[in-house]
């Protein structure tokens, strides 16, 4: 019963020593989202990257913003929004999203990279150049 009241207390106690750590984590999530978006813009030709990580920047930004709002509500003692349960669930979801993206990097991304490679025709392989006219 004590664990349930600890998690679902509408206004948790003032002792909150890990707010800076979680806020730094939220900022890092947003920074990773910006870097992934820049990488996707720079690597326009990499279709595998764009397909596998299409939603990643948005997920990371929303998780970072949600964590920042929960930390701000916790430090200002907003009832019901500062519950420990919401913070822990949000942290677990963010860890899941990060783990899922790491898993996709090692499994899906190499598969998609092999599929989306432009294949040379037999004639191009023999001669080393394409017979198609280039657009000017």
Please tell me the predicted confidence (pLDDT) of residue 53.
Answer: 85
Instruction: State mean pLDDT over 124-133.
Output: 60
User: How many residues make up the chain in this entry?
Assistant: 136
pLDDT digits (tens, 9 = 90+) for 12-50: 776 678 888 999 999 999 999 999 999 989 988 888 888
- HSE-up (13 A, CA, CB side) for residue 124: 8
Q: Where are the domains of the chain?
A: 17-118
pLDDT digits (tens, 9 = 90+) for 55-112: 899 999 999 999 999 998 888 888 888 888 888 999 999 999 999 999 988 888 888 7
Please tell me the predicted confidence (pLDDT) of residue 126.
Answer: 61
What Å distances lie between residue 63 and 44, 46, 48, 136, CA to CA?
26, 26, 24, 46
pTM, full prediction: 0.75
Please tell me the predicted confidence (pLDDT) of residue 94.
Answer: 94
Please tell me the predicted confidence (pLDDT) of residue 117.
Answer: 64
């Amino acid at each position: 019963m004590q664990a349930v009241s600890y998690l679902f207390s509408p206004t948790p106690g003032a002792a909150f020593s890990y707010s800076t750590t979680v806020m730094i984590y939220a900022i890092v999530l947003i920074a990773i989202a910006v870097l992934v978006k820049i990488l996707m813009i720079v690597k326009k030709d990499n279709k595998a990257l764009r397909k596998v990580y299409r939603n990643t920047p948005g997920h990371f930004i929303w998780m970072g913003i949600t964590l920042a709002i929960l930390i701000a509500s916790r430090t200002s003692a907003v009832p019901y929004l500062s519950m420990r349960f919401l913070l822990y669930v949000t942290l677990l979801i963010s860890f899941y999203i990060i783990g899922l993206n790491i898993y996709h990097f090692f499994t899906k991304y190499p598969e998609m990279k092999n599929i989306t490679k432009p294949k040379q025709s037999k004639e191009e392989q023999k001669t080393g150049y394409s017979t198609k006219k280039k657009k000017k």
